[in-house]
Amino acid sequence: MQASVIVFPGSNCDRDVKVSLEHATSKKVNMVWHGDSDIPKSDLIVLPGGFSYGDYLRCGAISAKSNIMKAVITAANKGTPILGICNGFQILIEAGLLPGTLMRNAGLKFVCKDAYLRVENNETIFTKKYSAGAVIRIPVAHHDGNYFADDDVLDKIEDNGQVAFRYATQAGEVNDQANINGSRRNIAGIYNESKNILGMMPHPERLDQAILGGTDGAHLFNSLVNSLA
């Protein structure tokens, strides 16, 4: 699997996810600057976490209009798998590749901690290595991760199996207490309709090796390798 990571001004998890991808694939990852026009032939394109353009205007709004995003949108529409993590998720939303929006956390605080997530759909290229309904521990670090969409959109994405992860308790209960940022229906990550695009607020690259304290994030990268190798 050949992966490319897009680097925006203010990305700060680009090198972390590069390490995770190279660990999973044993292949050098392409790092692609936001001002470039083309992405080298890739099986996977990753939009990393960070604070691109200082979160000016709205998180991800400026990056979503950057030059490279034309190539990302073209690739996405052709079915190339795209993974957006945290700020990458915000950029995918602002680019119109995923439904809904991400608002300021309901508690107004920056939340930086390990979150428990319930895997809602383990039949995609991103999650096939997780068991159905698995509860996984993945760190979050964001100020604007409060997923919002109106009821019609939510019902539609639920019906189509587009909810990837929900914030849950360690025991796997999805309730208000586990909802770290006020997201509607505890949504932590979603797919597009054809499920070649995943956006998620939690950071799987931060917990993918035992030396980091956990490996729950590794299955996501291994799922992709298994699907796309």
Partner 1 sequence: MKARITITLKSGVLDPQGKAIQHTLDDLGFEGVTKLRQGKIFDIEINETDKTKAETQLTAMSEKLLANMVMENYSVEILD
Residues in the chain: 229
Stretch that binds partner 1, among 41-49, 121-129, 141-149, 202-210 (CB under 8 A): 141-149
Decide if 13 is catalytic: no
215: contact with partner 1 by CB under 8 A: no
Decide if 86 is catalytic: yes
For 113, the token pair is 């901690």
135: contact with partner 1 by CB under 8 A: no
Instruction: List, as one string, the DSSP characters of 109-173.
Output: S-EEEEEEEEES---STTTTTSPTT-EEEEEEEES--EEE--HHHHHHHHHTT-EEEEEE-TT--
Q: How far is the CB of 95 from partner 1 (least distance, A)?
A: 12
Decide if 123 is catalytic: no
CA distances in angstroms from 41 to 6, 32, 59, 98, 225, listed in the order given: 13, 12, 28, 23, 16
As a whole number of angstroms, the distance between CA 66 and CA 168 comes to 35
171: contact with partner 1 by CB under 8 A: no
- Convert 167-190 to b/e letters by CB count within 10 Å (16 or more is b): bbeeebebeeebbbbbbbbbbbbb
128: contact with partner 1 by CB under 8 A: no
Q: How far is the CB of 94 from partner 1 (least distance, A)?
A: 7
Q: Which of 86, 94, 142, 219 is catalytic?
A: 86
Q: How far is the CB of 173 from partner 1 (least distance, A)?
A: 23
Q: Is the C-alpha dihedral spanning 206, 99, 46, 79 positive or negative?
A: positive
Stretch that binds partner 1, among 23-31, 117-125, 144-152, 202-210 (CB under 8 A): 144-152
185: contact with partner 1 by CB under 8 A: no
Stretch that binds partner 1, among 81-89, 132-140, 147-155, 208-216 (CB under 8 A): 147-155
Q: What are phi and psi of 172, to 5 degrees?
A: 95, 10
155: contact with partner 1 by CB under 8 A: no
Which residues does the annotation mark as catalytic?
A: 86, 203, 205
| Binding site residues, partner 1, CB under 8 A | 57-58, 61, 65, 94, 100-101, 103-108, 146, 148-150, 182
